[in-house]
Structure 1
Amino acid sequence: MADSNNILSEEKGGILYLTINRESKLNALNFATLEEIRNIFNEVSDNKKIKAVIFTGSGEKSFIAGADISEISELNELNARKFAENGQEIFSMIENCHKPVIALVNGYALGGGCELAMACHMRIAVANAKFGQPEVNLGIIPGYGGTQRLTYLVGRGKANELMMTGDMIGADEAKSLGLVNHVLPTKKEAMAKAEEILKKINSKAPLAIGMVVDCVNAVFIPDENGYQTEANSFARCVKSGDYKEGTSAFLEKRKPVFKGE
């Protein structure tokens, strides 16, 4: 996968490493970077070499420090709605990806950066990470799904507090709230933890991993019966070759060789 203008990409051992590469702007998300993310995830879903994705930000100061203010300062009511819907659509691609996506959060994850991290399936933070949705300081609110994802990750009361005050929280508090899975002292150690988790996940049945994504996401989809989604997904798994391989390997006391079909 070729590098984009604003995102460095490298595939290694089945993991696609994506680095938002706008360090001089604290890796702020501009329109072009969002479209690059869309294009990448369009490819990820069909690329059999890619088993998982890790997002991070270039440098040590910032994961993604929010949206590019120079761009959003020109919005009006009509294009603001389209701006929000576009970002929501792209972040939903991340959330609904059938391959595990981890946000490795180094430094600031604010506004759109926090929203992107929350769209990932897991979050691993470096000890210097700072999370926040400070949009009220600009007279706006989160627009890329932050009001929804933050609420179901940390609960209504804390989500209201964080979004109404615009306060930032550190990595340890984010972990205590359930916003972060793990906190490590350095970016190198955080990357090692992400790779350790993905190595374990990638040894499992790919179809089943994708079904877990669908079922977990169903919890938060209005009017969707998550239990029925689970039953349907369970049946799809049982129809697969991976199910036959997994059960046979267990009975034969050997490691399974899954093919994702």
Structure 2
Amino acid sequence: MILVLGSTGTTGSRVARALDARNVGTRLATRIPVSPNDVFFDWADVESHARALHGVTGVYLVAPVGSADPMTVVGPFLEQAAQQGVRRIVALSSSALDRGAPGLGEIHDAVASTAAEWAVLRPSWFMQNFIGNTPLAEGVRDGEIVSATGVGRIAFVDALDIAAVAAHCLTDPEPHNTDHIVTGPTALSYGNAAAIISAQTGTDISHRSITVDQLARLHSDHGLPAGFARILAALDADIARGTEDRTTDVVEQVTGHAARTFDDFARAHFPRVSSGK
């Protein structure tokens, strides 16, 4: 039985489906349980942690979203997991954060230091950020992507590939006991991504680079806590310096299939706009 945190989120929902396809029993953590294998879970409710962990052997760990210091709640959760005999933990982190770095990097260190069997996924930026309810997706719909990345490049990765890697980490007979930097096959600037989406939809989508401070205010206006908005905006400055300009073959090495391309993603999610003629 594997407990999936963030079970309604971008990666958690896909991890749950990937495990279900493998006939692996799951317990889906959510604040609003609706199905038999759902369990109430709230990071602010410590009692819910023990109930959710009861009888599980593995955990897909997604830290509380929007927290600048997630270890304050994740640390006690990991202690509870160890006390209840959870053997394997696979945690979601970020390619932008090394082990021990503030925030997710501290969770990376704690999982690697305490779990009997573990893996930490460090994916690049999600392709799914271009769709749905995100500032980036709103920019795509409005015809202008705004970032503080300049011409810096990112190997955007499909969340389906992240979930496939996670499912292997959670179920492979031998624990991975390492971190995986999970990327797409090609590094692209936001300008490149805008051009691909434009070509697919037949509409004009551009990219405009702004300052980190301006981006932080934009994130805050979108509802993110001010501290987390500043952290997120600062990552764009790192991208501009080239820190995310890399690709790995982790998806293919772990799952046996090549990572999905951004062109494939665009074809799947951006229908061509009819000219009406």
TM-score (structure 2 length as normaliser): 0.29
Compute the TM-score of the two structures, normalised by the length of structure 1: 0.31
Structure with more relative contact order (C-alpha pairs < 8 Å, separation 6 or more): 2
Name the structure with the higher helix share.
1
